[in-house]
Structures are given as C-alpha cells and as structure tokens.
C-alpha cells in the first residue's frame, strides 16, 4: 500500500479558475490541510510545480528521505501535485523535495501556501491549523465607519521587532501577545485610529525588515504563533483601532527554500530578466502574465483580509511594478506591445485585485505606495482607475521635508514648496506619509532634519505635525517620530524610549497626541479630506512673512477650521486674516503652548470678527501667530 493515498480538495471548477487566473481562495485548496480520508486522520498536501518530474513530501516523519512520500501529479495539466499522508498532523515540519524534468535538478522548497514556518534561520514549513475564536464582531460590524474616506484615518506605522524590546532577555522583540497590551494602550493614548505593520509575512533576513518574503501565508514565527497575532488584532479592534498590513507583491528573494526557480524553472518569477529581476533589490519579480501567479497573489491578499480580519493592505513598491523601465537604463527593458513603458499585465492585475478585494470586503482600504504621476491610482476601475482606495502623497512628503530642513531665514524664498501640494492635492485620495523610508540610510530622524537650536528644532517639529494633521488627506507617521526621537531608526534595537525622561521629548509626545486628537475628533478636518470642497486658501502667497493660512470645511457649512502657520522664529502680532462670514472665533490649538515646551507667551483670546474684507474674504480678524508655530481656530456662524 502506498504511503501517499489518492485524495483531492480540488474540483474541476477550482482547476479552471486557477488556470484562468481567477481563483481567489487558493489557500483553501493548496498547501497542507489536516483532514480525514475514509475515517483515517492525516494531512492532504498540494503544490503547484508544473515542470517537476517528481515531488515528495519530506520531514521528520520520514527522516527527510526523498521518495518515501511521493505526491501524484494531476491528470488535468494543471501542474499540481497532491496526495494524502496518514498520521501526519498539526505541528509536523516539512518541505517539498522536487526533481525537475531537466538536468537532474533537485531542490527542497518550503510550501508557498504554508500557514506557519519554522523560526528563522530554520526554513521548513509547519503543518498548522489555527485555533482562534474571534471576538471582534462589534468592530467588524461597524468598521466601515472607521475605514471610510469620510472618517479620520491616522496611522501609526511600526516595525514589530524594534518598537520595544526585552533588553533584559537578550534584547528580544516583544511577542504578539505582549504587544496586545503594551502597543494597544500606547496607540490609543496617542489618538491613532489605525496601526500599520511593516511586513509580518515570514521572511528569512532581518535587515530586509520583512520586505523579502518567503512565506506569504505565514505570519513570521519571530513573534509567536498565528493565534497570538490574531489575539493582537482582536485587542486592537476591541479598542477601535484598525489594522493595516504591508503587502509585497512586487518582488521576492532568491533564497533556496523560497519561490525562486521553484520547480527548476522560472515558476513564480518572470523568465526574462528584463521583467523578472530587480537590480536594485537583488530579488525576483513575479510573472504577472502567468495566470497561476495572478491567482496566487490575489489569493494571498484575500487570505489576510479573511483569515486575519485585517482592515487594509498597503501595497508596497507599486511604481516598480507599473513601469517596465523602473530603475533600468536603455537596453535593460523592452516596451510593451503598444510601444509604451507601462507593464500592461500589472495594470490589469491591480485592477482585478482591487475589484476582487473590495467586492468581498467593501469596508476595507487598499493603499498604494506609488511615487510617480501615474494617473487615477485611487479612482474606481469602472471609471478607468486602478481601483485603490488611497495613494501615498510622496510629493507632499519630499517637498515638506525639504522645506522644513531649511533655515527659517531662507524659507520666504521657498514658499512655493510648502503651498505647492494643493495644486494637485485632490487628484487622488492621498495619504500623507512620514514613513520608515524617511528615517533610514543616513537620512537621520525627522527631528534631526529640523534646523536651529534645540528649542527651534522642537518648535519646528510641532509646527510640521500641526501642518500635516490639518492638511487634507489621511495621515501616517512612523514610530518614534511622535516623541521626537533624535537618532536614525535601527531595526536591531528598540526605540529610544529613554528620551521620554526629558521634558522636551515628553512634551513633544503630548503635543503630538493633542494635534492627532484634534484631527480625529474634529469632523471638519476629515469629513471632506479628499474633496476640494473641504479646503480653501486664505493666503498662500504671504512669502514675505512666510505665513501660510487656509480654511478646512466639513459637512456643517456654519463651522470652519482656520489654520495659520508661522514658518519663522519671528512672532506675527496683529496679523490680519480674512474669513468668509461673521461668527464666534476661538483658538482651539496652539503648538506654542507652554505644556508642549513652547513659549506660552502668545495666546489668542477675545477675538472679534469684523465686517472688513481681507484676503478676498468679506470679513476678517486680527490674530497673533507665535514663532515657529501653528495655530488652529474654530469659526462658528452665529
């Protein structure tokens, strides 16, 4: 009797969907699945290896002996090898031993669909069946209110391995379970609405930060078991905090146990190096033209949304996917069939991906990290867009950081840098990112970019965040930036939490929590954050004083938020601004407050709106704008 019994979870319909690129739940069919066959308990294995001559399951149960448990290739030309092995259960480790049909090539591969992987540097897959009862029905029923484009979206981006560490225990990272208390409390305290985890899919190499994935369906075992990650997500949801995962469909590493050269051929990667190899990242590019690969990618995105209840995906490196000439010189790429530089297969895949994900989960957000001017990234597919919910506003990020690093005496000559974003600010549904990419590779910290003495640097940072959190669009901030970490991020160590012992840093944290809280609790700042009706300039041209001012509008036409920013260390007293109507005018936030380590000397009280036109408006008022500060007012019509 064969050690591998004939068995299949795949129907003809599954095979047709898989081969046509339209199977969106392959994780239910491929990989390892604990089940019964004719009353016998065991595990069903299925793997796609179309160019293999023989595939065996090897592991501790057969002393890693090739040929002991040979899978059977399906008759339908799908390239899928499958079979049922009795008495193999939860926790068994395994790989696929694959013999190619040419040149005697033999390799051992981890299971592309495994739900769990060994702790790196070990590389085998684990037969695994999760056992978790979800407790987030209340959140799931109402998350459309938290993820909508008319909701406040303030995201805390973090790298799990270096947020906090147990230094007394070998400097290890916190487990998913430990994060379920410490992280949740912290994020809530700082008034964030969402967290975004840098990739937590299994990866072999710590310095990649998770962006070189080998186990697309397995949460990294560095921080614990799959159920512990589910517990963390449950805890975040219980505190009304959404969860976004970084997702990497743009490339994967060449590690021997990974997807590369899977069956002795370019199975998952494109066989043409001009389309299949990233010269910058020394990694392989998925073959987006191959239907089975398209099914793999869409199924993987669907998996995290369905099985882990995540509320969104941030799709990494979309620009590198969209353009055939991305980071390539002449002769290193070939035009598409229409003579252009766009990767047409990627465009069609992204449209299909977003339609499938939003069709299944209309209350999520899929966010593109896309750095070019590719049109309509965050517009619906039916209107010609790529179908993403949001897009990172990379232009805003670069212009703003370039502006803020300038000494204040020169800023009046670069006023256009800080006002330019609104010339295109509503062409997409933009998210404003100050991400991990801005605090690595010698760039220093966000605080480290700020000019001047210590007081000025912290004043500039408070000013930057006040501007960012009143500017139209969703927000994202990388961990540590909220309290003014002075050093560049180091993935091998925890954040510089010790600096919170110093008043200027703890007050910076208070200031951030306050402006974040103002954004997340003030409908006028978010109800129309992606709508040009939600924004109106007061004065974008006061370069002489380096002062910027604008109105934010929500659904209530009788309530406006007035935002004024002084980009110099010179206080602007008796500074007149125009407003569109008469009403009660009061200061609701001042980044120069004493409790934030500001001067506390420039307050706005007993303000009066008069019927004197200014800045093209029918009414006006006179205010004081402290040095290097942002001041936010509320105007309510009587």
311-370: pLDDT as tens digits: 999 999 999 999 999 999 999 999 999 999 999 999 999 999 999 999 999 999 999 999
DSSP E strands in 458-558: the ranges are 474-478, 535-542, 547-553
Q: What is the mean pLDDT of residues 582-597?
A: 97
Let me know: does 159 contact 479? Beta carbons within 8 Å.
yes
Judge whether 181-186+211-392 and 532-637 match in fold.
Answer: no
Helix (H) or strand (E) run with residue 282 in it:
none
DSSP E strands in 419-546: the ranges are 430-434, 474-478, 535-542
- In CATH terms, the fold of domain 181-186+211-392 is TIM Barrel (3.20.20)
Cβ neighbors of 174 (< 8 A, separation 6 or more) are: 160, 163, 164, 165, 166, 182, 183, 223
Let me know: does 560 contact 579? Beta carbons within 8 Å.
yes
Q: Which of 458, 587, 474 is nearest to 525 (CA)?
A: 474
Distance separating alpha carbons of residues 5 and 305, to the nearest angstrom: 33
Q: Distance of CA 227 to CAs 87, 115, 141, 303, 515, Å?
A: 24, 11, 22, 15, 35
Cβ neighbors of 582 (< 8 A, separation 6 or more) are: 609, 611, 619, 637, 638
pLDDT score of 237 more than 80: yes
In this predicted structure, what is the pLDDT of residue 1? 40
DSSP E strands in 503-628: the ranges are 535-542, 547-553, 559-566, 572-579, 583-590, 619-625
Backbone angles phi, psi at 428, to 5 degrees: -140, 170
Distance separating alpha carbons of residues 439 and 418, to the nearest angstrom: 21
**What secondary structure letter does DSSP report for 82?**
E
In this predicted structure, what is the pLDDT of residue 2? 58
Determine which one of 202, 352, 369, 438 is catalytic. Answer: 369
Q: What is the mean pLDDT of residues 436-459?
A: 95
Q: Are strands 619-625 and 559-566 parallel, antiparallel or unpaired?
A: unpaired
Distance separating alpha carbons of residues 85 and 94, to the nearest angstrom: 12
Kindly indicate whether the domain formed by 532-637 is annotated with CATH number 2.30.40.10.
no
Structure confidence at residue 629 as a pLDDT band (50, 70, 90): very high
Q: How far is CA 68 from the centre of its chain?
A: 43
In this predicted structure, what is the pLDDT of residue 499? 97
For 346-367, the three-class secondary structure string (H helix, E strand, C coil) is: HHHHHHHHHHHHHHHCCCCEEE
Q: Which two tokens stand for residue 415?
A: 């006023």
Q: Alpha-carbon dihedral of residues 576, 580, 584, 590, nearest 10 degrees?
A: -50
Examine residue 121 and say whether the peptide bond preceding it is cis (omega within 30 degrees of 0). Answer: yes
**Mean predicted lDDT score pLDDT of the chain:** 96
Q: Which two tokens stand for residue 382?
A: 């039916």
Q: How far is CA 355 from the centre of its chain?
A: 19
Cβ neighbors of 4 (< 8 A, separation 6 or more) are: 57, 69, 70, 71, 72, 83, 84, 85
> Which pLDDT tens digit goes with each residue over 212-233?
999 999 999 999 999 999 999 9
Determine which one of 316, 399, 438, 527 is catalytic. Answer: 316
Q: Which two tokens stand for residue 386?
A: 């790529």
pLDDT score of 632 more than 50: yes
Q: Distance of CA 587 to CAs 94, 466, 514, 607, Å?
A: 63, 14, 14, 9
> Which pLDDT tens digit goes with each residue over 182-209?
999 999 999 999 999 999 999 999 999 9
Residue that the structure tokens 């208390």 belong to: 181
Q: Is 87 a catalytic residue?
A: no
Let me know: does 217 contact 126? Beta carbons within 8 Å.
no
Cβ neighbors of 357 (< 8 A, separation 6 or more) are: 298, 301, 302, 305, 313, 364, 366
Beta-ladder partners of 59: 94
Distance separating alpha carbons of residues 595 and 469, to the nearest angstrom: 19
How many Cα atoms occupy the beta-carbon half-sphere of 283 within 13 Å? 19
Distance separating alpha carbons of residues 559 and 585, to the nearest angstrom: 10
Q: Distance of CA 93 to CAs 87, 111, 517, Å?
A: 13, 10, 47
Neighbours of 76 (CB within 10 A): 12
Let me know: does 98 contact 80? Beta carbons within 8 Å.
no
Strands, sheet with 535-542, edge to edge from the N-terminal-most edge strand: 535-542, 547-553, 559-566, 629-637, 583-590
Q: What is the mean pLDDT of residues 5-28?
A: 96
State the architecture of 12-126 in CATH terms. Sandwich (2.60)
**What secondary structure letter does DSSP report for 199?**
P
Domain spans in the chain, listed from the N-terminal domain onward: 12-126, 181-186+211-392, 532-637
In this predicted structure, what is the pLDDT of residue 103? 73
Q: How far is CA 380 from the centre of its chain?
A: 20
Q: Supply angle C-alpha 407, 412, 415, rounded to 5.
A: 105
> Which pLDDT tens digit goes with each residue over 418-434?
999 999 999 999 999 99
> Which pLDDT tens digit goes with each residue over 114-171?
999 999 999 999 999 999 999 999 999 999 999 999 999 999 999 999 999 998 888 8
Q: Is 369 a catalytic residue?
A: yes
Let me know: does 34 contact 110? Beta carbons within 8 Å.
no
Q: Supply angle C-alpha 158, 159, 161, rounded to 5.
A: 140
pLDDT score of 416 more than 90: yes
Checking phi first, is residue 327 left (phi over 0); if not, alpha (psi -120 to 50) or beta?
left
Q: Which two tokens stand for residue 507?
A: 């007050």
Supply the angle between the helices 226-238 and 176-189 in degrees, to the nearest 10: 20
């Amino acid at each position: 009797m064969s050690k591998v019994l004939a068995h299949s979870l795949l129907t003809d319909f599954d095979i047709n969907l898989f081969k046509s690129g339209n199977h969106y739940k392959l994780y239910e069919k491929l990989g390892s699945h604990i089940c019964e066959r004719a009353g016998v308990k065991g595990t069903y294995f299925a793997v796609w290896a179309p160019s293999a001559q023989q595939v065996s399951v090897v592991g501790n149960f057969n002393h890693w002996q090739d040929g002991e448990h040979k899978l059977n290739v399906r008759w339908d030309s799908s390239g899928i090898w499958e079979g049922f092995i009795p008495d193999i259960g939860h926790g068994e480790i395994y790989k696929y031993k694959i013999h190619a049909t040419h040149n005697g090539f033999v390799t051992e591969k981890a299971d592309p669909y495994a739900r769990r992987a060994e702790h790196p540097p070990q590389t085998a897959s684990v037969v695994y069946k999760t056992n978790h009862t979800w407790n987030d029905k209340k959140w799931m029923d109402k998350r459309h209110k938290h993820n909508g484009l008319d909701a406040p979206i303030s995201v805390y981006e973090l790298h799990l391995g270096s947020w906090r560490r147990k230094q007394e225990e070998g400097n290890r990272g916190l487990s998913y379970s430990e994060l379920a208390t410490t992280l949740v409390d912290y994020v809530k305290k700082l008034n964030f609405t969402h967290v975004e985890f840098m990739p937590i899919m299994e990866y072999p190499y710590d310095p990649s930060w998770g962006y070189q994935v080998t186990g697309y369906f397995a949460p990294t075992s560095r921080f614990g078991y799959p159920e512990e990650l589910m517990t963390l997500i449950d805890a975040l949801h219980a505190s009304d905090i959404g969860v976004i995962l970084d997702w990497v469909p743009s490339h994967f590493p060449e590690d021997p146990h990974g997807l590369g050269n899977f069956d002795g051929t370019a199975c998952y990667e494109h066989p043409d190096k001009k389309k299949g190899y990233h010269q910058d990242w020394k990694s392989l590019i998925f073959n987006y033209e191959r239907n089975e690969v398209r099914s793999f990618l869409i199924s993987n995105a669907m998996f995290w949304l369905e099985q882990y209840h995540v509320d969104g995906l941030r799709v990494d490196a979309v620009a590198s996917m969209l353009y055939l000439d991305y980071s390539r010189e002449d002769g290193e790429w070939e035009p598409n069939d229409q003579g252009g530089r766009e990767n047409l297969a990627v465009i069609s895949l992204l449209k299909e991906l977003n339609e499938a994900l939003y069709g299944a989960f209309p209350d999520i957000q899929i966010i593109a990290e896309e750095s070019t001017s590719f049109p309509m990234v965050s517009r619906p597919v039916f209107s010609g867009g790529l179908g993403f919910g949001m897009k990172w506003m990379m232009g805003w990020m670069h212009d703003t950081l370039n502006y803020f690093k300038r000494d204040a005496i020169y800023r009046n000559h670069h006023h256009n840098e800080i006002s330019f974003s609104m010339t295109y600010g509503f062409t997409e549904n933009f998210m404003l990112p100050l991400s991990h990419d801005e605090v690595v590779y010698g760039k220093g910290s966000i605080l480290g970019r700020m000019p001047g003495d210590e007081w000025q640097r912290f004043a500039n940072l408070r000013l930057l965040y006040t501007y960012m959190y009143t500017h139209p669009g969703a927000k994202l901030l990388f961990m540590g930036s909220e309290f003014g970490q002075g050093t560049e991020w180091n993935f091998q160590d925890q954040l510089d939490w010790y600096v919170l012992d110093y008043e200027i840093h703890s007050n910076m944290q208070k200031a951030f929590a306050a402006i974040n809280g103002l954004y997340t609790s003030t409908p006028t700042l978010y109800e129309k954050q992606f709508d040009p009706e939600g924004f109106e300039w007061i004065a974008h041209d006061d370069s002489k004083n380096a002062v910027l001012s604008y109105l934010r509008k929500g659904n209530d036409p009788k309530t406006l938020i007035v935002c004024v920013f002084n980009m110099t260390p010179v206080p602007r007293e008796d500074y007149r601004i125009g407003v569109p109507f008469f009403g009660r005018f009061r200061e609701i936030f001042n980044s120069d407050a004493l409790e934030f380590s500001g001067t506390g000397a420039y307050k706005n009280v007993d303000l009066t709106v008069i019927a004197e036109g200014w800045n093209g408006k029918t009414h006006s008022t006179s205010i004081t704008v402290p040095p290097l500060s942002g001041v936010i007012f509320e105007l309510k019509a009587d």
